[in-house]
């Protein structure tokens, strides 16, 4: 009787062990799929506002499985940005945009150009003399690529289910690189995303195009020089994302920006508090996920 009972117990233990092994393997495989390969559903648009500290870098999975990168943060982030794109299951950036040639937007772009396949490159028609900018130009020409000058009225993509339009710059302000920022609008059926780089109110006042959008990438890291009542009236966003570093030297985001966003009832996310922010559009609904992988700077 005792021997029978012990055999019975043994069998239960074996079954339980096999079951727990199976559950463990399943959860591993789910975890692997979730972090290391593309989980985008067909026809979705997924915008990753990467946490790159004080600066901007936005990776976009387009509905047709092409990709776009807007800006590449400060220097030392290139490896992290390229790994992030690879981990999403991509080996090419179809559209690379440098909104303007400041170091917190193009700092790691030369590395990106050198280390991943790049299709078209868009930049405003303005130059600067910094080493970061010159390194980027060299990386682009070494790869045999050409820069397209981005200006208002230009269309980057016009597909049946999405479009990418350039709304600015309208004019080039030689005295302010911020105010030469490339402004982009991505339309995915009913949902619109607006990206305004570091454009300040001077540039924004020159834009006659329709700025309305559901999701606004807040200009200039939350500076009061970009977010005004007039802008929020024109954009009328339901979601705003601010890209900035913790305890930055500029006092970003400015209090008045946060107050205005609250006044306009905009749900606001910020990379210094929320990490990488992932916003997904299925064409009608928008979902937001916070706490995505931050991009660490190489020493
Ligand atoms: Zn900036």
Kindly report, residue by residue over 102-131, the tens digit of the pLDDT. Answer: 999 999 999 999 999 999 999 999 999 999
Interval 155-161 mean pLDDT: 97
What is the model's pLDDT at position 174?
Answer: 87
Q: Compute the distance from residue 178 Cα to the ligand 1 centre, in Å.
A: 8
- From ligand 1's centre to the CA of 243, what distance in Å? 9
Looking at residue 298, its pLDDT comes to: 86
**What residues pair up with 57 in beta bridges, in sequence order?**
none
Render pLDDT for 40-55 as a digit per residue (tens, 0 to 9). 899 999 999 999 999 9
Q: Is the peptide bond before 229 cis (omega within 30 degrees of 0)?
A: no
Average pLDDT over the chain, rounded to whole? 90
Does residue 198 carry a pLDDT above 70? yes
Distance CA 200, CA 113 (A): 28
Instruction: Give me ligand 1 centre to Cα 242, in Å.
Output: 11
Question: How many whole angstroms from 190 Cα to the centroid of ligand 1?
Answer: 29
Confidence of residue 15 (pLDDT cuts 50, 70, 90): very low
Q: pLDDT category, 18, cuts 50, 70, 90?
A: very low
Supply the pLDDT for residue 28: 34
* Residues in Cβ contact with 280 at an 8 Å cutoff, skipping those fewer than 6 apart: 40, 44, 45, 46, 47, 286, 287, 288, 289
How far, in Å, is the centroid of ligand 1 from the Cα of 153?
24
Model pLDDT, residue 22 = 44
pLDDT band at 299 (very low <50, low <70, confident <90, very high): low
In the reported structure, the alpha carbon of residue 199 is separated from the centroid of ligand 1 by a whole-number distance in angstroms of 9
- pLDDT for residue 2 is more than 70: no
Give 103 Cα–ligand 1 centroid separation in angstroms. Answer: 8
Q: How far is the CA of 97 from the centre of ligand 1 (A)?
A: 14
Task: Give the residue-averaged pLDDT of 287-296.
Answer: 97
Of 56, 39, 89, the closest CA to residue 218 belongs to 56
Distance, CA 162 to ligand 1 centroid (Å)?
Answer: 27
* Separation of CA 268 and ligand 1 centre (Å): 18
Q: How far is the CA of 195 from the centre of ligand 1 (A)?
A: 13
Centroid of ligand 1 to alpha carbon of 23 (angstroms): 46
pLDDT the model gives residue 39:
76
What is the Å distance from ligand 1's center to 209 Cα?
Answer: 23
pLDDT for residue 70 is more than 70: yes
Q: How many other CB atoms are there within 10 angstroms of residue 30's CB atom?
A: 10
Distance (angstroms) between ligand 1 centre and the Cα of 1 equals 78
């Amino acid at each position: 009787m005792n021997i029978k009972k012990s055999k019975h117990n043994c069998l239960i233990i074996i079954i339980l062990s096999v079951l727990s092994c199976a559950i463990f393997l399943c959860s591993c495989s789910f975890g692997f799929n979730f972090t290391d390969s593309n989980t985008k559903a067909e026809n979705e648009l997924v915008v990753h506002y990467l946490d790159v500290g004080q600066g901007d870098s936005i990776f976009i999975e387009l509905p047709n499985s092409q990709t776009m990168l807007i800006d590449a943060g400060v220097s030392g982030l290139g490896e992290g940005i390229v790994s992030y794109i690879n981990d999403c299951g991509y080996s090419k950036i179809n559209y690379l945009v440098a909104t303007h040639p400041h170091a917190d937007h193009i700092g790691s772009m030369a590395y990106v150009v050198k280390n991943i396949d790049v299709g078209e490159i868009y930049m405003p028609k303005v130059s600067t003399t910094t080493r970061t900018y010159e390194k980027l130009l060299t990386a682009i020409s070494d790869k045999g690529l050409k820069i397209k000058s981005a200006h208002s009225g230009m269309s980057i993509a016009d597909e049946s289910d999405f479009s990418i339009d350039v709304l600015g710059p309208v004019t080039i302000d030689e005295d302010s690189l911020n105010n030469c920022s490339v402004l982009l609008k991505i339309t995915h059926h009913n949902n619109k995303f607006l990206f305004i780089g570091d454009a300040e109110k001077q540039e924004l006042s020159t834009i006659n195009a329709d700025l309305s959008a559901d999701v606004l990438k807040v200009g200039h890291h939350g500076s009061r020089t970009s977010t005004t009542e007039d802008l929020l009236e024109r954009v009328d966003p339901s979601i705003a994302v601010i890209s900035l570093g913790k305890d930055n030297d500029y006092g970003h985001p400015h209090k008045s920006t946060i107050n205005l966003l609250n006044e306009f009832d905009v749900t606001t996310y910020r990379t210094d508090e929320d990490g990488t922010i992932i916003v997904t559009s299925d064409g009608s609904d928008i979902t937001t996920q916070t706490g995505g992988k931050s991009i660490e700077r190489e020493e």
